[in-house]
Amino acid sequence: MTGIPLCELSPARRAALLTCLTAGSLYRSNGMWRGKPGSTPVCGVTVADLKRDGLLREEWPNKPRSITAAQLTAQGERYARELAGEMEPAR
């Protein structure tokens, strides 16, 4: 689903978007998603929901598929920046 209203995002989804914005990506290693090493983990279901909503995209930057990255899409970046108070509300 694309175009989900920002007000309908759960606190967990909002936190995941902000984590991805500040860290640049979310990385999954050993079954856990994190923005930076040692940071609070992001639930895999939350990452899957954001991917389904079109706010994150998954990539495999390294050869071993045990390390996966998720990055903000253009829409996800707009939402994250709005959450961070860095730009005008998304329309």
- CATH assignment of 8-83? 1.10.10.10
Report the alpha-carbon distance of residue 75 to residue 81 in Å, rounded. Answer: 10
38: Cα within 13 Å, side-chain hemisphere = 0
Residue type at 2? T
Residues in the chain: 91
Reduced to 3 states (helix: H, G, I; strand: E, B; else coil), residue 58 is strand
Q: Across-strand partners of 28?
A: 33, 68
Tens of pLDDT, residues 58-79: 887 665 656 688 999 999 999 9
Report the alpha-carbon distance of residue 29 to residue 76 in Å, rounded. Answer: 22
What global pTM score does this model have?
A: 0.81
Tens of pLDDT, residues 31-62: 789 998 888 899 999 999 999 999 999 887 66
